[in-house]
Structures are given as structure tokens and as C-alpha cells.
Amino acid sequence: MVVPESQEKMYYPPVELQRNAHVPDFNSYLVMYKKSLENPEAFWREVADEFFWKKPATGPMLQHNFDMTKGNIFVNCMEGAKTNMCYNVLDRHVKEGKLGEKVAYYWEGNSPDHHMTITYRQLLSHVCRCANVLKQMGVKRGDRVSIYLPMIPELIVTMLACARIGAVHSIVFAGFSSESLCERIMDAQSSVLVTADGVYRGEKLINLKQISDEALEKCREKGSSGVTTCLVIKHQAQRTRTGTSCNKLQTPWESERDVWWDEVMRDSPDECEPEWMDAEDPLFILYTSGSTGKPKGVVHTVAGYLLYTSLTFRYVFDHHPDDVYWCTADIGWITGHSYITYGPLANGATSVLFEGLPVHPHVGRFWEIIEKYKVTKFYTAPTAIRLLMKYGQEPLRKYDLSSLRILGTVGEPINPEAWRWYHEVVGQGRCPVVDTFWQTETGGHVLTPLPAATPLKPGSATFPFFGVEPAILNEHGEELEGVTEGYLVFRKPWPGIMRTIYKNQELFENTYFRKFPGFYVTGDGCRRDKDGYYWITGRIDDMLNVSGHLMSTAEVEAALMLHQSVSEAAVVSRPHKVKGECLYCFVTLKDSKEFNCKLVEDLKRLVREKIGPIATPDFIQNAPALPKTRSGKIMRRILRQIARNEKDLGDLSTLADPKVVEVLFNQRSEAA
């Protein structure tokens, strides 16, 4: 890594930001980075020192094996230590740090009329009451609790209550279908499901309780007796006061199993001794798409995740006590886990928690919220930036955005045009844009600029965070030096990396460690330029990234194949102006079945029902046959080119029947 000397336009950190920053210049970054690699023990011990440990570690800060040829893959952080996540992110601030009256969250509802403020002391009190409720329901240390909730304070309360009693939360994004929820409840073997009556997303009412009931019914049909209690928050009926559609009478109810949140919380005591957990006990499971189509339960553990989310939050957003921070992600994804709940709370930060949409009830909603709460650090996704760009500068001009200091993005590569708009129009040229590359599996940022230290190049996630050692490999596993492009891998762990796939260590090892022994394989392609900057080029496996949501071609294909008319399906990505990528599906029909508009609509509905609205295909094309190799493997490269209408297909000699390609091109116009 060298200090950049590039000729292309660089964006240097503003001097005012550097004055008071944790990492004030590029040289400081280099010195700290070097220390983090040369002496990880000292580096991470210092980070750990500010937290509360019921028992100190007896083992080293980090131990690992990344080489399958030498035994099981493992990562171990602070062996022997005992602590509690919830204690560290709440009690420590309230009792030791005197932050009890500090605002933890400004909650802003779907409608601008709904909002509330929650201090650290109030949050702690709610969490303890919820922890006692869960205990009352029989939830014990190590048990799993599934959570299917919108972006409301109770979501954070429930996850921290789990952490307090040592239960493992498994949050399922509340846009997923009943089928997806059922699959995740069954895999985690949860005994409790926490949900809400309903939620408005923009104008649309979503009946979460009904979806939950369907999911639990499906679990029952599949032979799982798992969930014995369903805890239901009266959100839609109570808080949004639309009155009619959801109340106790109209919400489907099974009295043996269902319990209203407010009824049990009311009398629950607000003190609860934390369960003292081992450093390596699981904190949560979060499902992410697997290339086989079955979601993988990524497991994160207590101590390492605490250290890593806390440190990345502090440095990447250069956090200071008077900041108001806002991450627009949903807590159903890892970004929300790490950078709405745990990272900010570990730092005693004040955050905005937003339930709504960027364009409801008007396209200036984000800017209105920034003005309202005087947000200083703002973190969103490229897809949201591209969406808002479409409306031009007018909606922003109505609001005062002068409080902003740092902007961030996450989820997919950001195109330089969107980056510049974000920097110039939203940040008024004043705010560094931190393009943070990471994954559900990495737990926290791994490649990222530091706002006061790193000169920026639009579209590059720049350099590794402390403790992270990237490498770029070719197909044969040889490490490539200097200016190059290949597979992005990491040579050793950082505290926040995943520990395993729930109940499937073998899949964990095969997915991330088999291809290149000795390295964690991200599945992303990456380029390194002459200044040492890293540029993510996108997934190199069969994964798609739609609006920052990762999904596998296999899971969408499996959903399409459920239709009685479909005999085969292949799904590829196609670039999309707002979503980044969208789904382009080829379907081969069974003999005598007809391809028509109704079928297309039915297939789209099927995918929505099976996976959720985020996976709705944009294009469905009739494919009398698919391009296959002689051994029968579908050649996705060719399908991608057909989807993109790229006529220069190169060598087709490996195809069993090259004529298929022409047929697919001819049928294309009907699809688009």
C-alpha cells in the first residue's frame, strides 16, 4: 500500500474534520494499520479494555485456523472471558458513563406525525422488562428467538433482551414471505416468535401477524412443533391510530399460543441480572442467501462482534458524543444489526431509527429528517441514492442539510455518477463519502475509507480496516501483486468475522475456505489500482445483488420451478438504473404449455410469495431451450449476454446446440 499519487481526481478530507478526528490523516492510518497486523494482541486488547468483562480472557485475543488441510476451521476471540453484550451497550453507559438521559434513538415512523424519543435509561428499562417476559416464557440461555418486526423500537428492545439473557436472536426481514419466515424458524428451531399486528410501508398495509400465522402453520405442516409462543406488538393498531383494520378482534389470534406484548410487558419487573456469557457464545444468527438456494444461518459471537462493530463504527463514522447518526438500513439485514443496534450503542451514540420509505409521503422525506434531527452522519445504500437522484436537486433545496459531516454507503458497488451526486448535492462538497465494503459474514466493515484520513476515489472502497489483510488471487490460488484483478480473499480473521453456519460447520468450511486453503473467500471480484486502492467488481459466484440485497440465482430458479407449467428455469442479472441489478429469468415450459402474459404475472407472484417482494423478477423470457454445455451445465455467461442484448458472444463451441442462442435472441424483444 502506498500513499496515493494518482492523477485522477481525488477527494481529500476536509481540514475541519481532521482537527478533531480519531484517525486524523493518512499517515496515522498507516501507522495504526501496521500495528494492528504486527501486534494484533496489543491492538485488540486496547480495544477490549474499555468494555466490561465479568471475567478476563485467559487465552489470546485471536486464534484461528483458515487452512482446511490442517484441521477444522475456527476463530476464537478472548477465550475464557465472560461478559454480556447488553450490559456493555446499555448498563455500562447508564451506570458508569452517566449517559442515562442521553437519547439513544429518535424514532421516526412511516408517517411524519409519528415519532418518539428513547433515552438510554428508558431503553435499558424496556429491555429488562422484555428480558423478564422472555424468561417467563421459558426462554433460556442458548435458545433461539425468531423476530419478524418492522423498524420500531421494540425490535431493538427484543434483540437486546435476547442478548441480556443469552438467547440467540434470529431476525427475519419483515419483507420476507411466510415461506421464507417458516424456513428460517425451522432451521433455527426457535421456541418463540416476536412479531407485530401490522405495519404501513408507505401507503401499503402489511399484515405481519397474518404472515406469521401462515409461517407457523407451514412449520406445523412440515412437522415442527417448535414455536410455542408468539409475542405480538400492537403497533399498527395502537401507534398509527388508523383505528379500523387491526385490533385485538381482527388480528388473527390463537389464544393458546399468542400473547400481546403490552399485556405482558406492563407488569414485568424492570430489573434483570444479565447472563454472563462466554466470549465465544453465539449472539445471533442471521440468514443470508446461499448459492445452493437454501439460506445459510450466519453465526456471530459475543465478544469479537462487540469489539469489531464498536471500533468500526467509531472510526469509520469518526463518532463523537454530540453526533446524530442515521443509518437507513433495515435491522433485518446485517447493516442494521451492526450499525443501527450494536456499533452505535456500544459507543453511546444517538441515532435516528426510521420506519418509513425514502419517498413517502414525499420525495424529500430523507432530507426532511436530516434537517429535523440535525443529522451529522448519514449512511445509506447506492440504490436509495440512485432513486433520489431521479428527482433532481429541487427536493433537497427545501431543507437545511448543513448539519451533515460524513456520508456513507453500503451494499453494492456505487457508480461514480451516484457517488458524485451524493458528495456534491447531498454533502454540498463538504462531506467525505465512506464507501464501506463488507458482508453479513464479515460482521463489520472490512474495506473502507476513514473519513479524515483517506483520500477518496469515487467507486472505490479504498483500503482495509485495522486488522484486515486482503489479498487478490487468481483462479489457481496464486497471490497477485501490484495492479491486478481477481478473487478477493482475506488472509486472517478480525474479531467480528462469522464463526460458523448454524448447525452446518461443513457447509461453512466448504463455502468460504475450500477453494483457496488458508484464506477466507468473499465471493467478490476485486481490482487493485496503481495506488493500492481496492475496487469491488461484484460477485463472481451465482449470486445477484438487487437493491443491495444479496440473493442466489438458485433460490429464484427453485421458486419458478414450482409452477406446474415450468420444466426448467435459469436466472441471471441485468443492470438496472435504480436497483443496480435486476432479475432476468429464462423459463422453459413443459410440452403443450403456453407462454403468455398471465403466466408471466403468475410467475412473478409465485416468486414474491415464495421469497418476498425484493425478489420479484423484472423480466421473464420464454426459452424453448437453454444454452448448455455437452455435460449439461447451463452457460450463464451466455444468458447474461442475451439478457443484456450483447450480440458479440465469442466462442460458442462448448455449447451442445449453438442454435439455441439465436432462438433466445429472437424471443428477447417480447420479454423486454
Interface contacts to ligand PRX, rule CB under 6 A? 288, 334-335, 410-413, 435-440, 461, 522-524, 536, 539, 545, 550
- Give the whole-angstrom CA distance, residue 526 versus residue 536: 4
Q: Could you tell me the smallest distance in angstroms from the CB atom of residue 496 to ligand PRX?
A: 12
Report the C-alpha gap between 429 and 399 in whole angstroms: 16
Nearest to 589 by CA among 667, 658, 525, 665: 667
91 vs 183 by CB, closer to ligand PRX: 183
- SS3 for 162? helix
CB of 441 to ligand PRX, least distance (A): 6
Classify 556 in phi/psi space as left (phi over 0), alpha (psi -120 to 50) or beta: alpha
3-class state of residue 241 by DSSP: coil
Q: Closest distance between ligand PRX and the C-beta of residue 438, in Å?
A: 5
- Closer Cβ to ligand PRX, 302 or 546, answer by number: 546
- 483 by Cβ neighbours in 10 Å (0-12 / 13-18 / 19+) ranks as exposed
Q: Which is nearer to ligand PRX, 109 or 523 (CB)?
A: 523
List the one residue out of 166, 160, 162, 20 whose CA is nearest residue 94: 160
> What's the closest the beta carbon of residue 329 comes to ligand PRX, in angstroms?
8
Q: Cβ closer to ligand PRX: 312 or 622?
A: 312
Give the three-state DSSP class for 303: helix
189: left (phi over 0), alpha (psi -120 to 50) or beta: left
Instruction: Copy the grid coordinates of residue 269.
Output: 419487573
Nearer to ligand PRX, 198 or 332 (CB): 332
Contact 198, 205 (CB under 8 A): yes
Tell me the residue length of the chain. 672
Contact 341, 315 (CB under 8 A): no
For the CB of residue 418, give the shortest distance to ligand PRX in the complex, in Å. 12
219-222 CB contacts, 8 Å cutoff, 24+ apart = 219/182, 219/185, 219/186, 222/182, 222/186
Nearer to ligand PRX, 87 or 173 (CB): 173
* Residue 458 neighbours by CB under 8 Å, 6+ apart: 11, 414, 416, 419, 420, 423, 433
Closest-by-Cβ residue to ligand PRX is 440
Q: How many degrees, rounded to 5, is the angle at CA 572 between CA 570 and CA 578?
A: 145
Nearest-approach distance from CB 505 to ligand PRX, in angstroms = 20
Q: How far is the CB of 547 from ligand PRX (least distance, A)?
A: 11
- For residue 68, the number of C-alpha atoms closer than 13 Å in the C-beta half-sphere is 16
Tell me the closest approach of the beta carbon of residue 367 to ligand PRX, in angstroms: 23
- Grid cell listed for 254: 390463537
- Tell me phi and psi for residue 237, to 5 degrees: -70, -40
Beta-carbon contacts of 660 under 8 Å, excluding residues fewer than 6 positions away, are: 624, 625, 626, 627, 628
207/338 with CB nearer ligand PRX: 338
Shorter beta-carbon distance to ligand PRX: residue 110 or 409: 409
Kindly tell me which of 323 and 441 has the beta carbon lying closer to ligand PRX.
441
Q: How far is the CB of 265 from ligand PRX (least distance, A)?
A: 32
Select 348 or 496, whichever has its Cβ closest to ligand PRX: 496
> CB 614 → ligand PRX: shortest distance, Å?
11
Closest to ligand PRX by CB, 405 vs 539, is: 539
As measured in angstroms, the least distance from the Cβ of 539 to ligand PRX is: 5
